[in-house]
């Protein structure tokens, strides 16, 4: 995720985070740990979720535009003007080559080179049927089914280089494990940029299925 988007995310969450990054009062996507591989990774099963997805043209608004579009959605750009609470983490696809309560993760997808798709996962109280209807034509509500992911956790600032290293470590660890990746890895961030490095919770993750 670009630094400007992370800065915007930080300003949204400032009321609930201390200068050392204590995460307080923000819903997290529910999951159950079903397996571990030492310090290399753990396997989680995430419950079904609902996301708001924005699509923008690459080279037009780009990632920041998608973030702003979704932020407007959760702060009233929807039928009824509902405020949606934000959740954590923010979820992003690495680019190397509210007042509905705002939730995270935020997920981005650039598999189509001409467009960017970003997702905010909504609080668990919402279903695809009850989520406020977006007023922007490039925002849609989509249901996400039960998902199994291998997740590797790390601290620090979560720079592009660090994320790339951790992602590579995760993929290498999966090679000789009981799990195989079936999608592109993503990164998940839980804290605002000013959080002290050793207090930060960052993760790289990839959807997996049993290797045998």
pLDDT at 99 (0 to 100):
39
Shared domain for 123 and 156, answered yes or no, is no
Shared domain for 133 and 157, answered yes or no, is no
Shared domain for 55 and 115, answered yes or no, is yes
Shared domain for 118 and 75, answered yes or no, is yes
- Quick one: average pLDDT of 160-182? 93
Shared domain for 37 and 70, answered yes or no, is no
For the record, the structure tokens of 87 come out as 């959740």
Residue 17 inside a domain? The answer is: no
Quick: pLDDT tens for 53-82: 888 776 655 556 777 888 899 999 999 999
Q: What is the CATH number of the domain that holds 121?
A: 3.20.80.10
Shared domain for 67 and 131, answered yes or no, is yes
Count of domains for the chain: 2
For the record, the structure tokens of 71 come out as 């932020």
Structural domain containing residue 64: 49-144
Domain boundary among 119, 144, 169: 144
Quick: pLDDT tens for 81-117: 999 988 777 666 654 433 344 444 555 554 555 666 7
What single string gives the DSSP state of each residue in the chain?
--HHHHHHHHHHHGGGB-TT--B-S--B--EEEEEEETTTEEEEEEPPEEEEEEEEETTTTHHHHHHHHHHHHHTT-BTT--EE---B-EEE-------EEP---EEEE-SSTTEEEEEEEPPTT--TTTSPPBSSTTEEEEEE--EEEEEEEE-S---HHHHHHHHHHHHHHHHTSSEEE-S--EEEE-S-TTS-GGG--EEEEEEEEE--
Quick: pLDDT tens for 39-48: 999 999 999 9
For the record, the structure tokens of 209 come out as 């299925």
Domain boundary among 116, 144, 172: 144
């Amino acid at each position: 995720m670009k630094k400007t988007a992370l800065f915007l995310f930080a300003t949204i969450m400032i009321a609930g985070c201390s200068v050392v990054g204590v995460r307080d009062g923000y819903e997290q996507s529910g999951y159950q740990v079903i397996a571990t591989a030492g310090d290399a990774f753990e396997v989680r099963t995430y419950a079904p979720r609902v996301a708001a997805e924005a699509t923008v043209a690459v080279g037009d608004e780009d990632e920041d535009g998608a973030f702003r579009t979704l932020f407007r959605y959760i702060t009233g750009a929807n039928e009824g003007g509902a405020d949606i609470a934000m959740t954590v983490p923010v979820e992003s696809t690495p680019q190397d080559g509210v007042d509905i309560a705002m939730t995270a993760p935020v997920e981005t997808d650039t598999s189509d080179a001409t467009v960017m798709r970003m997702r905010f996962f909504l609080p668990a109280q919402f279903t695809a049927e009850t989520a406020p209807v977006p007023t922007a034509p490039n925002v849609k509500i989509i249901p996400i089914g039960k998902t199994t992911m291998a997740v590797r956790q790390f601290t620090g600032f979560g720079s592009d280089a660090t994320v790339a290293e951790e992602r590579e470590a995760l993929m290498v660890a999966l090679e000789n494990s009981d799990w195989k990746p079936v999608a592109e890895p993503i990164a998940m961030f839980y804290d605002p940029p000013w959080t002290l490095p050793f207090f930060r919770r960052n993760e790289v993750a990839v959807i997996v299925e049993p290797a045998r």
